[in-house]
């Protein structure tokens, strides 16, 4: 996926960073919208990486504002990630070094209480005087209107954006990309598709001139978890209850089970890397609730693994006529992009069959590099927070 110089993702870094001049730290101010699991883990990571950010990148990263629907924090002089956690009643005292072992615990312990009343996102963004919006709210509603508005406001105020929220990319990528170009701003979103696993960066930075032709992916760990439990005879309802108790399932489990989560991820990747111009509603979906328990158990008995696999391909321009392309067949660049999520019995030699309940992965079909398999064997909150961190570093290296 070559990113042209005017691309909202464009990163012109030479690849290996040159150590910055000692003593010449550049301050980067962040406005955080959303202060849930990922944002807290991200703050802990900022605290842990303070020296690395300074020594390797010449950066001092400060948070000037945090907002949720229940509270806010405005810090015109900027606060470190550790100080933000402390202000929310979660972390160690400001200035106390946060160890690698302590930080995730600090980020996860208890609910945050931001000190100030909630503010409208637009007001907070205007007051933050930040360089980058880190958008970590949830995708709500058809078309993700709230999160999309946050990003649009940020561009209008001259901020770049990093987000893990797949909603805006899945539903509104064409508009967001155009707004970013017009405003001369950039946006990165590595954690939207596979919880921090580099997919966009891989295509953009490591595979110049390589086109993504299509992909097959396992995008949702909740359904992996449930399928593996059901293969051992657990009922659908009990598997769902376990997924919720173990913190796998989203607040609305239908998002996972009915395939909306996977469809959003597929649309995001297809929109950005294949110029698909689709929405999640364009992805055909099979719900896990429509897959009989017996089918899952049978797959296991035959030594196979059932997975909900999303396949995306570019159809032939003459789709529907005799001889047009199928997911496995040749593609015509001018054709529309299609997607389908369905239960498939995978034989053990299929790369996606190796993905356990916390794993996500994709086979990327490319023109110049053939098929590439990327996988993450523990797709959890720290990986998502790292994806946000990596996006921020990429942005800052070229500001
Ligand atoms: N958890 C993961 O591992 C993971 C992986 C990949 C991607 N993501 C994505 O990353 C984002 C954050 O995930 P999370 O797990 O941190 O979610 P979370 O724990 O549910 O936290 C969401 C935060 O967003 C705030 N919020 C929601 N709507 C808002 C609005 N309209 N304006 C301001 N604040 C709002 C919530 O606070 P209030 O309730 O007070 O509003 C809360 O602080 C989501 O989009 C998610 O899909 C998460």
Dist CA 275 CA 180 (whole Å): 16
User: Is residue 202 in a domain?
Assistant: no
What was the pLDDT predicted at 55?
Answer: 95
Of 15-29, 108-122, 344-358, which range is least confident?
Answer: 15-29
CATH of the domain at 44: 3.40.50.720
The answer to whether residues 274 and 373 belong to one domain is: yes
Q: For 265-324, how does the pLDDT look when each residue is reduced to its tens digit (9 = 90+)?
A: 999 999 999 999 999 999 999 999 999 999 999 999 999 999 999 999 999 887 766 544
The answer to whether residues 150 and 253 belong to one domain is: no
Whether 273 lines ligand 1, by a CB cut-off of 6 Å, is no
The answer to whether residues 319 and 227 belong to one domain is: yes
Ligand 1 pocket test, pick from 137, 195, 255 with the greatest ligand atom count within 8 Å of Cβ, gives 137
Whether 118 lines ligand 1, by a CB cut-off of 6 Å, is no
Q: For 4-62, how does the pLDDT look when each residue is reduced to its tens digit (9 = 90+)?
A: 445 665 544 433 445 566 668 999 999 999 999 999 999 999 999 999 999 999 999 99
Contact at 8 Å (CB) between 86 and 52?
no
The answer to whether residues 184 and 236 belong to one domain is: no
Contact at 8 Å (CB) between 296 and 306?
yes
User: Is residue 132 in a domain?
Assistant: yes
The answer to whether residues 178 and 318 belong to one domain is: no
Distance (angstroms) between ligand 1 centre and the Cα of 128 equals: 20
The answer to whether residues 312 and 173 belong to one domain is: no
Dist CA 333 CA 331 (whole Å): 6
The answer to whether residues 107 and 173 belong to one domain is: yes
What was the pLDDT predicted at 185?
Answer: 97
Whether 31 lines ligand 1, by a CB cut-off of 6 Å, is no
Closest atom of ligand 1 to CA, residue 381: 3
User: Is residue 349 in a domain?
Assistant: yes
Q: For 233-261, how does the pLDDT look when each residue is reduced to its tens digit (9 = 90+)?
A: 999 999 999 988 887 777 688 899 999 99
Specify the pairing of strand 59-67 against strand 187-188. unpaired
pTM above 0.95, yes or no: no
DSSP percent split of the chain into helix, strand, coil, nearest 5: 40, 20, 40
Dist CA 236 CA 116 (whole Å): 43
User: Is residue 3 in a domain?
Assistant: no
Contact at 8 Å (CB) between 124 and 149?
no
> Over the chain, what is the mean pLDDT?
88
The answer to whether residues 172 and 263 belong to one domain is: no
The answer to whether residues 263 and 338 belong to one domain is: yes
Whether 36 lines ligand 1, by a CB cut-off of 6 Å, is yes
The answer to whether residues 357 and 238 belong to one domain is: yes
Q: How many structural domains comprise the chain?
A: 2
The answer to whether residues 138 and 172 belong to one domain is: yes
Domain span holding position 65: 26-196+383-397
Distance (angstroms) between ligand 1 centre and the Cα of 11 equals: 27
Kindly state the percentage of the chain with pLDDT values over 90.
Answer: 76
CATH of the domain at 327: 3.30.360.10
Ligand 1 pocket test, pick from 31, 33, 37, 38 with the greatest ligand atom count within 8 Å of Cβ, gives 38
The answer to whether residues 127 and 58 belong to one domain is: yes
Q: For 157-186, how does the pLDDT look when each residue is reduced to its tens digit (9 = 90+)?
A: 999 999 999 999 999 999 999 999 999 999
**pLDDT score of 383 more than 90:** yes
Contact at 8 Å (CB) between 73 and 115?
yes
What was the pLDDT predicted at 94?
Answer: 41
Whether 111 lines ligand 1, by a CB cut-off of 6 Å, is no
Taking CA atoms only, the protein residue closest to ligand 1 atom 2 is 381
**pLDDT score of 344 more than 50:** yes
């Amino acid at each position: 996926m070559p990113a042209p110089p005017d691309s909202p993702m464009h990163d012109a870094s030479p690849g290996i960073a040159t150590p910055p001049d000692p003593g010449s730290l550049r301050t980067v101010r962040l406005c955080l919208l959303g202060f849930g699991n990922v944002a807290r883990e991200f703050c802990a990571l900022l605290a842990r990486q303070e020296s690395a950010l300074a020594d390797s990148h010449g950066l001092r990263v400060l948070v000037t504002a945090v907002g949720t629907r229940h509270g806010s924090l405005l810090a015109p002089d900027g606060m470190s990630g550790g100080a933000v956690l402390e202000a929310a009643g979660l972390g160690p005292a400001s200035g106390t070094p946060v160890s690698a072992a302590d930080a995730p615990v600090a980020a996860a312990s208890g609910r945050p209480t931001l000190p100030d009343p909630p503010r409208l996102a637009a007001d907070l963004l205007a007051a933050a005087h930040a360089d980058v919006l880190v958008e970590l709210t949830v995708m709500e509603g058809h078309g993700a209107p709230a999160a999309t508005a946050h990003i649009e406001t940020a561009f209008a105020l001259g901020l770049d954006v990093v987000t893990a929220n797949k909603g805006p990319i899945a539903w509104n990528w064409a508009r967001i990309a155009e707004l970013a170009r017009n405003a001369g701003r950039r946006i990165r979103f590595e954690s939207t598709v596979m919880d921090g696993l580099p997919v966009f960066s891989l295509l953009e930075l490591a595979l110049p001139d390589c086109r993504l032709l299509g992909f097959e992916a396992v995008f949702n760990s909740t359904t992996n978890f449930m399928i593996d439990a059901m293969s051992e005879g657990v009922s659908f309802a009990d598997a769902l209850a376990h997924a919720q108790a173990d913190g796998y399932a989203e607040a609305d489990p239908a998002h996972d089970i009915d395939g909306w989560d996977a469809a959003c991820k597929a649309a995001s990747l297809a929109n950005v890397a294949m110029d698909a111009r689709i929405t999640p509603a364009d992805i055909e979906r099979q719900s896990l609730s429509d897959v009989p328990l017996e089918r899952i158990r049978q797959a296991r008995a035959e030594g196979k693994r059932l997975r909900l696999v999303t396949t995306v391909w570019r159809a032939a321009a003459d789709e529907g006529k005799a001889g047009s392309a199928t997911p496995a067949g040749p593609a015509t660049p001018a054709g529309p992009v299609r997607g389908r999520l369905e239960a498939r019995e995978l034989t053990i030699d299929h790369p996606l069959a190796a993905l356990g309940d916390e794993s996500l992965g994709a086979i990327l079909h490319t023109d110049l590099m053939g098929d590439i398999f990327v996988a993450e064997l523990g797709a959890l909150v720290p990986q998502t927070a790292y994806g946000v961190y990596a996006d921020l570093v990429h942005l800052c290296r070229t500001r």
